[in-house]
Amino acid sequence: MHFGKWIVVAFVLFAGFIATLVTVCIRADVNLVSKNYYQEELKHQNKIDKVQHTALLAAVPALTASEGKILLQYADFAKVDGGTLRVLRPSDPSLDHDFDLSDWNSETRVYELTNWSRGLYRITLEWTMNGTEYYLEKTVVL
């Protein structure tokens, strides 16, 4: 029996396996949090400043989430000039939601997610109050 041909067959099968593995890895869809991920990372220092401003507040907004609803409570909403509440699903960008912070009449507001599924979400709240920008982030599992 000739072992030489079986060694050649093993190398050919191994090369085919590696080529298939590389092809599958290249074609895999990698979802980032946003399309402009790298440009947003360049603005990281601005985000750090906003987080520091938020830490200096006497009262910080409270974010709670359950069953497709986001509850936002903040005593100083009357002072808020504007802002955005973003609900991001890292594994599926089609489930992302953006809400505008405007027309506040009370200290509590409920946001309903129109399409959602169970899993990990990252909720970010960015707002401006008295000319100062603030940022709050929370990770929740709905």
Average pLDDT over residues 58-75: 86
For residues 86 and 61, membership in a common domain is answered with: yes
What would the two tokens of residue 53 be?
A: 């401003």
Domain range enclosing 9: 1-30
Average pLDDT over residues 12-28: 95
121 pairs with which residues across the strands? 140
For residues 4 and 21, membership in a common domain is answered with: yes
Contacts of 26 (CB under 8 A, 6+ apart): none
For residues 17 and 61, membership in a common domain is answered with: no
The pLDDT value recorded for residue 44 is: 83
What would the two tokens of residue 124 be?
A: 């970010």
pLDDT: is 79 or 63 the higher one? 63
Give dist(CA 94, CA 29) in Å, integer: 14
Provide the CATH number for the domain around residue 41: 2.60.40.10
Whether pLDDT at 92 is above 80:
yes
Q: What is the pLDDT of residues 99-135, one digit of tens each?
A: 988 766 678 888 888 788 888 999 999 999 888 999 9
